[in-house]
Amino acid sequence: MLTAFARAFKTPDLRKKLLFTLGIVLVYRLGAHVPVPGVNYSNVETCMKQAGSGSGLFGLVNMFSGGALLKITLFALGIMPYITASIILQLLTVVIPRLEALKKEGQSGQAKITQYTRYLTVALAILQGTGLVATARSGSLFSTCTLRNEIIPDPAIFTTITMVICMTAGTGVVMWLGELITDRGIGNGMSILMFISIASGFPAALWQIKVSGKLADGWIEFGSVIAIGLVMIALVVFVEQAQRRIPVQYAKRMIGRRSYGGTSTYIPLKVNQAGVIPVIFASSLLYIPALIAQFSGSKAGWATWLQTHFQRGDGPVYIVTYFLLIVFFAFFYVAISFNPEEVADNMKKYGGFIPGIRAGRPTAEYLSYVLNRITWPGSLYLGLIALVPTVALVLFNADQNFPFGGTSILIIVGVGLETVKQIESQLQQRNYEGFLR
């Protein structure tokens, strides 16, 4: 990987793309430290020292925003509204025929879906910004802080509207920066910004583990976490690269005097076909019960039970429910994102077939059977990786944003592999030597 980056910097046009990407990243990190008007920043810093980096959905969104959410800065919402909008549009594509037709139109249809995603991102940013201001003003953003009710001292409606507009504009700027990286930089812009947001929290999280450690001034715990992280990265790379290749043979066709087809290829079915989306779905859904109990203010038995088992996120009920939801959403997302019948029909249309399997319905049934079998280990792997922060909470006195586990390690490894592949592919295009030398 380091060799690929070194060779890329030696190529003039690739060097310009890499430097442009680094410049955009610096602008993005700068915006994550610009406070929103109306916030008492000194009280926010005090609350962050007392309450930590948050847990549950707040901890998840704070991780995606690079720590900007709890600081209530200009980029507090980060890219989370865009991620949510993209997932919603992807799910609606299966339900709404109009969106499905646009998806099949190619580049023009995809441009229209991208435009809808932008509109939905702005709407979600307004909704989430209003919710963030209301949560901060009520004191629920830092529930254990003594100054939690003094973060936004001015209760005027004009202050609330100004803060929501600033955070919505910040989300629009983040979306624009991501698209600039995609067009003029290296890799997928949104993925790069997500990578930077998560990686920016690694040094502080690792140092917190060292400070809170008790063995040899914390260095033993620190070294243990680094060793566990390297093992987990190797495991994640191995599973993320693992795939089942279904061989496909295309029959020869004679058109006039020319012969077409007769080639062989394969359909790559990844073990982790769903990516990190099941973990995001499960984390968001599990926070709803605690949120309902918290805002209801009820002292009834059901509210106490929900807060006891779902507030901290480390009890046996929470762990089992979290694991089962990840497995369920893994199968659910694979079912809506990969259509075996559509793949079988396209193969039949172009004269393709799987050796030993008849074209048409038998091919679709075979693909569905293979996909279900490889999704089981993929879903179990996602569930185990996602539970690593909960184990770290007990062993290393870490918080829910333990660096080497859950959503963070999956995204960092996935984006890193994708970016390196794009750099290597562009290097091969520029250093192609041909068959004759």
pLDDT score at 408:
79
User: How far apart are the C-alpha atoms of 392 and 386, rounded to whole Å?
Assistant: 11
CATH numbers and ranges of domains, the chain = 1-200 (1.10.3370.10), 243-407 (1.10.3370.10)
* Tally of CA atoms within 13 A in the half-sphere of 175 that contains its CB: 24
User: How far apart are the C-alpha atoms of 34 and 75, rounded to whole Å?
Assistant: 8
Instruction: Using CB atoms within 10 Å of the CB of residue 155, give its burial: 0 to 12 exposed, 13 to 18 middle, 19+ buried.
Output: exposed
User: How far apart are the C-alpha atoms of 104 and 99, rounded to whole Å?
Assistant: 9
Among 277, 268, 285, which Cα is nearest to 333's? 277
pLDDT score at 435:
44
Positive or negative torsion for Cα 96, 100, 101, 105: positive
pLDDT score at 436:
47
User: How far apart are the C-alpha atoms of 170 and 74, rounded to whole Å?
Assistant: 5
Block mean pLDDT (10 aa), the chain, length 437: 70 85 90 85 78 58 74 85 85 82 82 89 90 80 72 84 92 91 84 85 78 73 81 85 87 66 80 83 74 65 69 70 88 86 84 84 90 90 80 59 68 83 78 50
pLDDT score at 92:
84
Burial per residue of 181-192, b for 16 or more beta-carbon CB atoms within 10 angstroms, e otherwise: beeebbbbbbbb
User: How far apart are the C-alpha atoms of 70 and 61, rounded to whole Å?
Assistant: 9
3-state SS, residue 252 = coil
Among 378, 387, 402, 152, which Cα is nearest to 286's? 387
User: How far apart are the C-alpha atoms of 90 and 327, rounded to whole Å?
Assistant: 20
Burial per residue of 252-262, b for 16 or more beta-carbon CB atoms within 10 angstroms, e otherwise: eeeeeeeeeee
Name beta bridge partners: 352: 250
Burial per residue of 321-338, b for 16 or more beta-carbon CB atoms within 10 angstroms, e otherwise: bbbebbbebbbbbbbeeb
Distances (CA, A) of 238 to 1, 414, 429: 16, 11, 27
Whether the CB-CB separation of 81 and 124 falls below 8 Å is answered with yes
The token pair that represents 300 in the structure block = 């009834």
Among 251, 273, 275, which Cα is nearest to 263's? 251
Which residues contact residue 326 at a Cβ distance below 8 angstroms, ignoring those fewer than 6 apart? 278, 279, 282, 379, 382, 383, 386
Question: If you search the block for the tokens 């690929």, which residue do you land on?
Answer: 4
Question: Angle, nearest 10°, between helix axes 80-95 and 316-337?
Answer: 50
DSSP state of 300: S
Which residues contact residue 205 at a Cβ distance below 8 angstroms, ignoring those fewer than 6 apart? 53, 398, 399, 401, 402, 403
The token pair that represents 122 in the structure block = 């702005």
pLDDT score at 67:
73
pLDDT score at 250:
80
3-state SS, residue 35 = strand
Q: Which helix (H) or strand (E) holds 170?
A: helix 157-184
